């Protein structure tokens, strides 16, 4: 991460849309706006097994190759870990759209509700339909291992969304893995927290995903803490609580409520993604903490509305789930054609505040922001 001179800070802020009231407060010692610009262009350091990331922009099929895929009349199944948020819905939409363009029939879309036993059962059910491709996020890297191994032995081409099961070899047991820059998600949401807190900093809490072997959310946690430790000595993480779900809203509300009760000076709370952030919002509202600052990951509808109206959420590291789904489907085409592909492919993230939420929504979901978000901007 680059440190930029303070003389460039005002220009960088104007260029990126990240605005603070520098007319009335001293400047931050660290050029947060420039750091956000840098992380928006980054790929993650490595994949779950240390794989070197390849930019998603490099994954392409020619018109002739797409015709070859169509001729195979292949079938695909989408086996989700959890379907109850905007990220998952956008992934599914991107997958379906690109599979349709390639003449691949989607025979099943399942939702495990973040329960590994349900996902194992879903895989067993899906295999009966003999799909050529499975695209999935493992709920648990150990509990789902045997089920995915069984699919691989049956010749199914498997594409993962960020996480992969233990003991499966990339390029052998599964074809490829497509991920956002989850380390960057942690980095961006940390800089957004610092930007919202301002130069005086303060004490903050973290609501993280308790599944320490879930690669994506663990990377966010690591990235957030490293940025705070390395760059913002005036911001102290004084409370942390992990949540396991599947009631991520309720669990996060309880965790945040306990933090706010025991730490009266708490100025901000980071939530690992937008659904837990909704629980943190509820806790702040119940505690009468209208001044609490929240940053998170994933540009969901509810956190976008809150941010647009100038509420608790001051920053979101937005992923590109629709585009990620398109890339996963394209890699399914690679697999059907026997075309060589990287085993770890990554999409960059979009640091988002109220200033650019409408543009970010369009970039993330490929449609204009909803009327509810637009009305909240007034």
List the chain domain ranges. 6-46+182-319+351-376, 54-180+321-346
How many CA atoms, within 13 angstroms, populate the side-chain half-sphere of residue 58? 12
In the DSSP assignment, the letter for residue 23 is: T
The whole-number pLDDT of residue 21 equals 31
**Is it true that 6-46+182-319+351-376 and 54-180+321-346 share their CATH fold?**
yes
Dihedral sign for Cα atoms in the order 266, 271, 274, 277: negative
Number of Cβ atoms within 10 Å of the Cβ of 14? 11
Q: How far is CA 351 from the centre of its chain?
A: 12
The whole-number pLDDT of residue 355 equals 96
The whole-number pLDDT of residue 6 equals 27
The whole-number pLDDT of residue 20 equals 32
Fold of 54-180+321-346: Rossmann fold (3.40.50)
Q: Hey, which bits of the chain come out as E strands? A: 54-55, 75-80, 105-111, 133-136, 157-160, 176-180, 202-209, 235-243, 266-271, 293-297, 313-318, 344-347, 350-352
The whole-number pLDDT of residue 276 equals 97
- Token pair of 81, please? 């870990």
In this structure, what are the phi and psi dihedrals at residue 334, rounded to the nearest 5 degrees? -55, -50
What is the dotted CATH code of the domain comprising 6-46+182-319+351-376?
3.40.50.2300
Measured distance CA(284)–CA(312) in Å, rounded:
8
The whole-number pLDDT of residue 25 equals 39
145-to-76, 113, 153, 294, 303 alpha-carbon distances in Å: 20, 18, 12, 35, 34
The whole-number pLDDT of residue 29 equals 61
Interaxial angle between packed helices 86-101 and 321-337, expressed in degrees from 0 to 180 and rounded to the nearest 10: 40
CB neighbour class for 257 (10 Å; exposed up to 12, middle 13-18, buried from 19): middle
The whole-number pLDDT of residue 30 equals 77
Q: How far is CA 127 from the centre of its chain?
A: 28
- Token pair of 110, please? 């399942």
For 350-375, the DSSP string reads EEE-GGGHHHHHHHHHSSPPPHHHHH
The whole-number pLDDT of residue 15 equals 35
Closest CA to 244 of 233, 259, 254: 254
- Residue-wise pLDDT tens for the chain (378 aa)? 333 332 332 333 333 333 333 233 344 567 898 999 999 999 999 998 899 999 999 999 999 999 999 999 999 999 998 877 888 899 999 999 999 999 999 999 999 998 999 999 999 999 999 999 999 999 888 999 999 999 999 999 999 998 888 889 888 999 999 999 999 999 999 999 999 999 999 999 999 999 877 888 999 999 999 999 999 999 999 999 999 988 999 999 999 999 999 999 999 999 999 999 999 999 999 999 999 999 999 999 999 999 999 999 999 999 999 999 999 999 999 999 999 999 999 999 999 999 999 999 999 999 999 999 999 997
- pTM of the full predicted structure? 0.85
């Amino acid at each position: 991460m680059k440190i930029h001179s303070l003389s460039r800070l005002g220009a960088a802020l104007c260029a990126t849309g990240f605005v603070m009231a520098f007319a009335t407060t001293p400047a931050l010692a660290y050029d947060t706006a420039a750091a956000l610009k840098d992380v928006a262009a980054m790929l993650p350091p490595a994949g779950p097994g240390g794989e070197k990331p390849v930019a998603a922009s490099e994954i392409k099929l020619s018109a002739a190759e797409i015709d070859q895929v169509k001729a195979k009349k292949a079938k695909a199944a989408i086996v989700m870990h959890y379907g109850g948020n905007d990220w998952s819905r956008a992934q599914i939409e991107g997958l379906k759209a690109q599979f349709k363009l390639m003449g691949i029939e989607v025979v099943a879309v399942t939702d495990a509700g973040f329960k590994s036993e349900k996902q194992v059962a879903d895989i067993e059910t899906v295999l009966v339909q003999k799909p050529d491709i499975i695209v999935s996020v493992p709920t648990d890297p150990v509990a789902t291992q045997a089920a995915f191994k069984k699919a691989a032995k049956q010749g199914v081409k498997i594409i993962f969304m960020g996480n992969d099961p233990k003991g499966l070899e990339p390029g052998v047991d599964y074809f490829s893995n497509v991920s956002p820059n989850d380390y960057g998600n942690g980095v961006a949401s940390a800089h957004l927290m610092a930007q919202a807190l301002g130069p005086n900093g303060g004490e903050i809490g973290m609501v993280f995903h308790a599944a320490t072997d879930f690669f994506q959310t663990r990377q966010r946690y690591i990235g957030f803490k490293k940025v705070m430790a390395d760059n913002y000595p005036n911001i102290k993480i004084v409370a942390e609580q992990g949540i396991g779900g599947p009631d991520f809203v309720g669990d996060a509300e309880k965790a945040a409520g306990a933090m706010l009760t025991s730490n009266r000076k708490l100025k901000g709370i980071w939530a690992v993604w937008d659904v837990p952030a909704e629980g943190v919002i509820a806790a702040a509202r119940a505690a009468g903490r209208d001044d609490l600052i929240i940053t998170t990951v994933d540009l969901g509808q509810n956190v976008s509305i809150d941010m647009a109206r100038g509420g608790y959420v001051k920053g979101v590291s937005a992923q590109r789930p629709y585009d990620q789904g398109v890339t996963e489907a394209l890699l399914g085409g690679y697999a059907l054609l026997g075309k060589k592909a990287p085993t770890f492919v990554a999409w960059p993230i979009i640091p988002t505040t109220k200033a650019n939420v409408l543009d970010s929504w369009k970039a993330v979901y490929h449609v204009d922001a909803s009327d509810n978000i637009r009305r909240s901007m007034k």
